[in-house]
Amino acid sequence: MEKESSLCPLCHNSDTTHFYSGENRKYRHCSICDLVFVPSSYFISAEEEKAKYDNHRNTPENAGYVAFLNRLLLPLQSALRPGAKGLDFGSGPGPTLHLLMKKRGYEMAIYDPFYAPDNTVFDQKYDFITSTEVIEHLYDPMAELERLWHCLERGGILGLMTAFRVKDFAGWYYKRDLTHIRFFTPKTFGWIAERLDARLKIPRSGVILLHKK
């Protein structure tokens, strides 16, 4: 099992190395795509994971959360045509992003494996897809990205948010959340963009726009 869990979950490279130990789990690094990841033997259960999400207080009334989402929404909106149709992937227990976009004239479907598990959304095509603070939780991030990419119209945009890995990994608060199991850098998203044949833009730290050619 340890050999299997040492495989990079993003690019499936087997030549990964120990990166750090802490929080009663280990972290490994992939030299190909620059991902740092937690091996599957250290994952918490789905029940424990959902219990943590149930405590989130992310709503449209939370001004701080709205400001946080606008870090992605403002550069995304500037690239969208009026009336573009979107999907919010990983909308969480208090879906907010799609409401903010609706006020701006953009209709969005939502999907969340715990709170809005409607798989029919993947039968549609979208002009844009958002996924905020989700990719760091995914067991198989490339498979999910490819599924979303397939749902994008040509010329569409996939907008992501996640905290970029910092040099002081040992002291980094972000890794202490046990639902966070994948840690990315701009280099990682460069690898993803090349794999998807996408045009990559990073308008600010932790905000990623992948344009479908």
Residue 116 burial by CB count (10 A; 0-12/13-18/19+): exposed, middle or buried?
Answer: middle
* Domain at 2-212, CATH from 3.40.50.150, 1.20.1070.10, 3.40.50.300, 3.40.640.10: 3.40.50.150
Look over the chain and give the mean of its residue pLDDT values, rounded to a whole number.
95
For the stretch 158-171, pLDDT in tens is: 999 999 999 999 99
pLDDT at 3: 47
Domain residue ranges in the chain: 2-212
Q: Of all residues in the chain, what percent carry a pLDDT higher than 70?
A: 98
Dist. CA 196–CA 176, nearest whole Å: 30
| pLDDT tens-digit map of 90-116 | 999 988 999 999 999 999 999 999 999
